[in-house]
Amino acid sequence: MARAMKYITKGIGGFYYVRTPDGIVECKARGIFRKRGITPVAGDNVELSADGSMIDEILPRKNVFVRPPVANLDVLFIVASTTQPVPSTLVLDELAAAAIYKDVQPVFVVTKADLATADKLAQDYATSGIPLIQLHYETGEGLDTIREYIRGHLCAFCGNSGVGKSTLLNALAPELKRETGQISQKLGRGRHTTREVEIFEVCGGRLADTPGFASLEAQKLCRIPKEDLQHTFPDFEPYFGQCRFTGCSHRSETGCAVREAVDQGKISKTRYASYLTMYEEANARKEWEK
Ligand SMILES: Nc1nc2c(ncn2[C@@H]2O[C@H](COP(=O)(O)OP(=O)(O)OP(=O)(O)O)[C@@H](O)[C@H]2O)c(=O)[nH]1
Ligand SMILES: [Zn+2]
C-alpha cells in the first residue's frame, strides 16, 4: 500500500511544517538538499526520517514556482472583477499562459457581477478553452463550481488588489478569517508585509495562501520563450499545422490560419492582441533575462 502523503505546509527560518496523518510536525531538512541545489518549499511531498524530525526526501515535483515559492500547484484561480478595478485582459491572459506553461489549470473567476455586467469578459473568453466562473454572492452561484475545482487539488488564488480574493476565500472557507477591504492594507496584512506561503486544507482540497500571488506580475511566475507562447493559448490549437508556413509565428505571415480564425471571430480579438503583445515582449527580452 502506498504510504500516506506528507507535504510541507510552510517553511520559515530553516524549519518546515509537514502535514502527516498524525498532524503537523516541525522538521529540518537534510543538508543534502542544499548540495543538490534544491530548496524545499510549501507543497513539496516529502518523506521523513524515522523519528519524524528530518525531511529525508523530496518527491518529484509536478512544477515549482520561485516567487511565490510553492510546488505541485494544480489549479490557479485568476480572479477579476467586472469593475473596481476594471480588468485588463492582457494581465489575465499573461497569468493564464504562465499557469498553462507550468502545467497548472487556470480558472477565471469573475466577481462584482452585481456592480457591472460580466458579459464582455465572458464573451472575450468564450472560445479561450479556459473555464470562467461568474460569482453571485446573493444566490451563491459559482461557489460550488469553485469548490469542485478545489476538491483533491492544490490551488491558489491570484488577481489584482481589490478584486475580492479575500471576500471569496471567506465565502469558501470562513475558518480562514481573511480580512477584506481597505482595512487589511492599513493593518499591514496587505501586500506590503511579507508573509510565508502557507497551505490549508479546505473544501476537500488544499489552498496555498500565497501573498506573492496577490497583486502579482505574470513575469515573476515564469518567462515563456516566444516559440512556446502559442502552446499556452488553447484557443489557437485547432489551427496549428494549417498555416501556410511551417514555423509561422501567427503575427503577420500570409496564410496564417490563426489570424484567419481571429478574422472569422473563432478566436477573440483580445486574446489575439494579448498574444501579439506577449510575443513582442518575449522577443525584446535580453538573452540574460530569458
Ligand atoms: N459589490 C461587490 N463588492 C465586492 C465583491 N467582492 C468583493 N467586494 C468588495 O471589494 C472590496 C475588496 O475586496 P477584498 O476581498 O478585500 O479584495 P482582495 O482581492 O482580497 O484585495 P487585496 O487584499 O488588496 O489583494 C471589499 O470592499 C469587498 O467588500 C462583489 O462580488 N461585489
Ligand atoms: Zn500562423
| DSSP label at residue 288 | G
Mutate to test the pocket of ligand 1, among 172, 180, 182, 207 (most ligand atoms within 8 A of CB): 180
pLDDT per residue of the chain (290 residues) written in tens, 0 to 9: 345 689 999 999 899 999 999 999 999 999 999 899 999 999 999 999 999 999 999 999 999 998 889 999 999 999 999 999 999 999 999 999 999 999 999 999 999 999 999 999 999 999 999 999 999 999 999 999 999 999 999 999 999 889 999 999 999 998 887 777 754 444 444 444 557 899 999 999 999 988 656 555 666 778 899 999 999 999 999 999 999 999 999 999 999 999 999 999 999 999 999 999 999 999 998 777 76
For atom 14 of ligand 1, the residue with the nearest CA is: 164
Distances (CA, A) of 255 to 246, 248, 258, 262: 11, 9, 9, 13
Ligand nearest to the CA of 244: 2
For atom 28 of ligand 1, the residue with the nearest CA is: 181
Which residue is listed with cell 499557469?
99
Which string of DSSP letters, residue by residue, matches 158-187?
E--TTSSHHHHHHHH-GGG----SHHHHHT
pLDDT at 192: 46
For atom 3 of ligand 1, the residue with the nearest CA is: 112
Supply the pTM of this predicted model. 0.92
Structural domains present in the chain: 6-60 (2.40.50.140), 70-218 (3.40.50.300), 223-289 (1.10.40.50)
Ligand 1 atom nearest to CA at 113: 31
Ligand 1 site residues, Cβ closer than 6 angstroms: 111-112, 114-115, 135, 137, 159, 161-167, 180-181, 184-185, 190, 214
Confirm if 6 and 46 have CB atoms less than 8 A apart.
yes
Q: Is the ipTM of this complex over 0.90?
A: yes
For atom 21 of ligand 1, the residue with the nearest CA is: 162
Integer Cα distance of 15 and 40 in angstroms: 10
